[in-house]
């Protein structure tokens, strides 16, 4: 199993989220080469603006397993985390973060100003996961373009 495989799984979740009426963001949590938890954006269906794929995944995983230290885990997500999600990763001591589309990509798609959210949070925190960016970037950007161009 490799980064491409896990990012494809996150993309499937982003598609699922979109089909359900939520924004197209998906994430998977991996340990020892196996997916241990999945997360999808559920802002609309749960009427919860904090229900981003990453924060929802971490919240639900910790609630279910009682594991609060994720230093041995890798989170794959289709887009660079926002401030809230990056903060959640800091507090959960996430080991590795791998994402596809960057905050700059999302900013350009939406035609709005942006900010390097996760980088800012991680550089100014007591914990920072190892970060790898750009995995299946084009595929991740395309799903966001398709969604936000219709809004």
- CA distances (Å), origin 101, targets 84, 91, 93, 94, 126: 17, 23, 22, 19, 25
Structure tokens at 14: 């982003």
Q: Which of 54, 64, 72, 123 is catalytic?
A: 54
Asked whether 74 and 96 are in contact (CB, 8 A), the reply is yes
Nearest to 21 by CA among 2, 45, 40, 37: 45
Check if 72 is active-site.
Answer: no
Cβ-Cβ contacts under 8 Å for 32 (sequence gap 6 or more): none
Rounded Cα distance between 119 and 137, Å, is 17
Query: 1 has which bridge partners?
Result: none
Q: Among all residues, which ones are annotated catalytic?
A: 54
């Amino acid at each position: 199993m490799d980064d491409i495989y896990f990012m494809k799984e996150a993309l499937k979740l982003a598609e699922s989220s979109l089909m359900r009426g939520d924004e197209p963001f998906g994430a998977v949590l991996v340990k020892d080469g196996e997916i241990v938890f999945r997360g999808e954006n559920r802002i609309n269906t749960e009427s919860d603006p904090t229900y981003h794929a990453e924060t929802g995944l971490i919240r639900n995983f910790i609630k279910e397993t009682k594991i609060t230290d994720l230093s041995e885990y890798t989170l794959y997500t289709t887009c660079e985390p926002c401030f809230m999600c990056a903060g959640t990763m800091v507090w959960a001591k996430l080991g590795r973060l791998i994402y596809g589309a960057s905050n700059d990509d999302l900013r350009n798609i939406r035609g709005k100003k942006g900010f390097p959210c996760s980088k800012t949070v991680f550089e100014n925190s007591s914990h920072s996961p190892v970060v790898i960016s750009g995995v299946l970037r084009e595929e991740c950007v395309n799903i966001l373009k398709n969604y936000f161009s219709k809004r």
